[in-house]
Amino acid sequence: MLYLNKLLPIFVLPLGWVVLLLLFALIRRRRWPAIVALTLLYVCSTSVVGNLLLHGLETRYPPIALDQVDKADAIVALGGMFGPASPDGYLANMSEASERLEAGIELWQRKKADWLVFTAGRIPWEDQAEAEGMRAMRAAIARGIPQEKILVTREVGNTADESLAVRDLMRERGWQKIILVTSAWHMPRTARLFRKAGVNFIPFTVDIRIDTGMRLTALDFLPRADGLRDTETALREWYGIAFYALVKR
């Protein structure tokens, strides 16, 4: 199921369709599939399309000011905040979702909960010497959080696994509510899975991609790598929501 969940979207994302259409054009010696492929690549690479798809995700759980966050038993920062592992003695490679780590540390420092929890994400086909949660724990300790106040869940492979691991940890510890930290575009799918697992949580969104106050310009209609990235990020989330709605009923 993990492989299916992670790999299936590749074949229905814009680049996958572009490759299939171009192959079809070459094999069948037809022009129209190539035209459709290039049109699809152009449309999906524009910021206006990427922002539109992300808008429907990010606006469902608006960010909350730090001072307005209610207290809970623990702060849970989901994985995805690190890039490839660095050798000992080097700075950690952070991903675009590094705000998940920063938010978890900041919330704990503001005494919003007694415990800080990281999920032990590990993807089977990636060369990971250790689960990501251990790297996050070391980063938090380096920032002054006592090790005895940090917990790492059992190993998980995706967001559904994270929801179950956090649920089990809450039952073991007798916790009633957590502050759940993840990217704004990832929160709708995350919230659905954590609710289904029976977890009581306060959503705290970070890593916001779009600025709703910005006006459209001509640049928003030009193809850009960032535009394609945002489109594919949003489509992965929408596919994920549909996947769990159909498979995890």
Question: What is the spatial distance between Cα 232 and Cα 40, in angstroms, rounded to a whole number?
Answer: 12
Least confident span in 36-40, 148-152, 238-242: 238-242
Classify residue 223 by its DSSP letter: B
**Residue 166: DSSP 8-state:** H
pLDDT at residue number 225: 92
Whether residue 104 contacts residue 88, with contact meaning beta carbons closer than 8 Å, is answered with: no
- What is the pLDDT, as a whole number, of residue 3? 54
pLDDT digits (tens, 9 = 90+) for 183-212: 999 999 999 999 999 999 999 999 998 877
Q: Delimit the CATH 3.40.50.620 region(s) of the chain.
A: 66-206
Average pLDDT, the chain: 89
Q: Write the pLDDT tens digit of every residue in 208-232.
A: 988 777 788 888 899 999 999 999 9
Q: How far apart are CA 81 and CA 97, in angstroms?
A: 5
CA 186 to chain centre: 5
What are the tens digits of pLDDT across the range 51-100? Answer: 999 999 999 999 999 999 999 999 999 998 988 877 777 888 888 889 99
Does the model's pTM come out above 0.75?
Answer: yes
- What's the pLDDT band for 8 if we cut at 50, 70, 90? low
pLDDT tens track for 156-173: 988 999 999 999 999 999
Nearest to 234 by CA among 48, 3, 100, 22: 48
Torsion angles phi and psi, residue 128, rounded to 5:
-115, 115
66-206, what's its fold?
A: Rossmann fold (3.40.50)
